[in-house]
Structure 1
Amino acid sequence: MQWKGRRQSDNIEDMRGSGGGFSGGGLRFPGGGFPGGGGRRGGGLSIGGLIVVGLALWFLGINPLVLLDGSMGGGSSLGGGSAAIERPRAGDRDEMRDFVATVLGDTEDTWTEIFKAEGKRYTAPPLVLFSGQIRSACGFASAASGPFYCPNDGKVYIDLAFYDELQQTFDAPGDFAQAYVIAHEVGHHVQDLLGVLPAFNERRQSLGQAQANALSVRVELQADCYAGVWGHYAEKKGLLERGDLEEALNAATQIGDDAIQKRTQGYVVPESFNHGSSAERKRWFKIGFDTGDAGSCDTFSSAKL
């Protein structure tokens, strides 16, 4: 991926080396589930018919951001934990920080233009770098939680040590695979701005676990599709190199619920999926990538994933 020398976002909060990186005053939420943002951000953006999607979510809403052991979900669902890896202190410049800032900056440019075409304004999420553990407005999380998006403060969180696990444990190397992770979390922010996540939070408590899991899959697949939309525009800008798309598709395959369950427990339990199978995640990323159209990311009205 051709990322060096491009604009870097200044919307980075570097909390590494800050002794735990406490951010905000969030506490664990009783009973787990999505510590939702309520109606804090407006919905109704009609990108490619997403008003219809929003209305569907109002009736079918469910928490897609399942808390794991009291920490935030809604991330890339890569599971597992990694040992804390020493990283530069807060404020230090390093190549991985530059990479993350560049990818974030490009998502800002892409989504700003998409929203502008609909007569709307895109508000970009800050990205918080942390090491080891963090307390966000959604509660406490550790590096084992993986990257996540918190709707209560509208921020994306990532411990850069996660990328080592992505490559070593999940066999998903490559800078475009790493960029896909960021773009997926930004996809959750887009859902928040569209009113998708507040609708889920409003309705989630009335659903059983099976319904919750099934609809969580659709939310996560939409975030994958949004990541693909960003990838489409990155390719148009000439940022992608040979093999980059394959890196992202491989990452989507490796982090499917079925692949993770096979790796961790040796068998698959489809009814427990909450992020989507390998085939589904790969397919929806590719739909967004091929079309570049956010309206193509309607995972909710699809009769068959």
Structure 2
Amino acid sequence: MAHCGSRPGAAWQPETMAGLQARRALGALAAVAALVLVVAGCGGSGGGYGDSSASPSPQRTTPGALASQPPHLEAAPQPSGSPGFPAPTTEAGRRQLLTAVFDDAQDMWAKIFANSGMHYQQAKLTIFTGDVHTGCGEASSDLGPFYCPADHGVYLDTSFFTALQQRFGVQGGLPPAYVVGHEMGHHVQNLVGTLASVQAAQQAAPAQENQLSVRLELQADCYAGVWIHSSYARDLVSDADLNDALHAATVIADDFQQHKATGTVRPDQWTHGSAAQRRQWLATGFTKGDPDSCDTFSAQ
């Protein structure tokens, strides 16, 4: 797995709350991963380089490649009035934040599934450092945060969040919450059958494996945005909070990591998407608050 790069420089421009609406109009997509472990961070989510003008356009994936479409999910419930996102200052504080966000996201998705007439199976949270045993096998901190479909487990390595803060300049409490929301997005994909459909499509068309992987990861970003919209209402999330999350989406995007590592950008090797794509879909989920707006597979 690739390691995260350093904090981006002038190529990345912070986005304001008003700028989120404009991001919804951008139409850059690519692929998705249905590997045994579905990853979202430095061990598997890449970093972000520049904006849409700096990111080469990925190859398009045939939307009909998936064997089946997921069922309709109702819009997110009204905001819960949860508090804002103060940055944790201790290891215990970080674990507390991650657990609180996981529980809040779990509650939101359970309500969405219930409102949609569907059964929701609880995800399981494991916060670890170093190596960890999962239903998908042994994993190490090099992998970053990930989701294991076999045991419905969300696995969060605390060193990943330390690296985001100390090495990449990612501040605030919303970036860790965004990562948790992304992994919970993979859980939703598992429950509605998207992961299985993508894996089948990848096996049927190996040449589209990376393209499908990107679309899967971008959808998980969008689902994370749905959670931010629902559980932490707009009036409780400042421009600074959102910029922190968008910054995190930038530094874990494929084009940023590639550029930092090699000085070049290879869209054909992306598995999670560019900085512009990841910001776009996170913003889409946030502004819409509707899982059905997260159809990255049909988007052009």
Matches within 5 A, 1:28-67: 64-66=33-35
Letter matched to residue 281 of structure 1: R
Aligned to 1:189: 187
Per-residue CA deviation, residues 37-84 of structure 1 (Å, 9 max, x unaligned), is xxxxxxxxxxxxxxxxxxxxxxxxx97144xxxxx642214238xxxx
Letter matched to residue 261 of structure 1: Q
Aligned to 1:211: 208
Distance 1:192 1:63 in 2: 13
Aligned to 1:177: 175
- From 13, 33, 39, the counterpart of 1:75: 39
Distance 1:167 1:207 in 2: 38
Aligned to 2:16: none
Q: Percent identity?
A: 44
Q: Does 1:166 align with 2:135?
A: no
Matches within 5 A, 1:95-106: 95-106=93-104
Letter matched to residue 187 of structure 1: G
Q: Higher relative contact order at CA 8 Å, sep ≥6: structure 1 or structure 2?
A: 2
Do the aligned residues in 1 keep the contact of 2:145 with 2:157 (CA within 8 Å)? yes
- From 269, 279, 283, the counterpart of 1:282: 279
When structure 1 is superposed on structure 2, of 228-237 and 253-262 the one drifting more is: 228-237
Aligned to 1:258: 255
Aligned to 1:109: 107
Aligned to 1:55: none
Task: Specify the SS of the correspondent of 1:172.
Answer: coil
Give 1:236 shift.
Answer: 2.2
The number of residue pairs the alignment matches comes to 224
Do the aligned residues in 1 keep the contact of 2:128 with 2:155 (CA within 8 Å)? yes
Letter matched to residue 120 of structure 2: Y
Letter matched to residue 257 of structure 1: D
Distance 1:150 1:211 in 2: 22
Per-residue CA deviation, residues 99-127 of structure 1 (Å, 9 max, x unaligned), is 11110111012112211221123222111
> Where does structure 2 lack aligned partners over 5 or more consecutive residues?
1-30, 45-90
Aligned to 2:244: 247
Aligned to 2:10: none
Task: Specify the SS of the correspondent of 2:158.
Answer: coil
Aligned to 1:6: none
Q: Does 1:143 align with 2:141?
A: yes
Task: Specify the SS of the correspondent of 1:185.
Answer: helix
When structure 1 is superposed on structure 2, of 187-196 and 159-168 the one drifting more is: 159-168
Give 1:164 shift.
Answer: 0.7
**CA separation of 1:198 and 1:173: change in aligned 2, threshold 3 A:** same
Give 1:223 shift.
Answer: 0.2
Runs of 4+ in 1 over 4 A off after TM superposition: none
Distance 1:167 1:272 in 2: 26
Do the aligned residues in 1 keep the contact of 2:43 with 2:142 (CA within 8 Å)? yes
> Where does structure 1 lack aligned partners over 5 or more consecutive residues?
1-61, 67-71, 81-92
- From 223, 226, 246, the counterpart of 1:226: 223
TM-score, with length taken from structure 2? 0.70
Aligned to 2:76: none
Aligned to 2:233: 236
Do the aligned residues in 2 keep the contact of 1:229 with 1:294 (CA within 8 Å)? yes
**CA separation of 1:265 and 1:73: change in aligned 2, threshold 3 A:** farther
Distance 2:189 2:214 in 1: 14
Give 1:242 shift.
Answer: 4.6
Aligned to 1:156: 154
Letter matched to residue 97 of structure 2: F
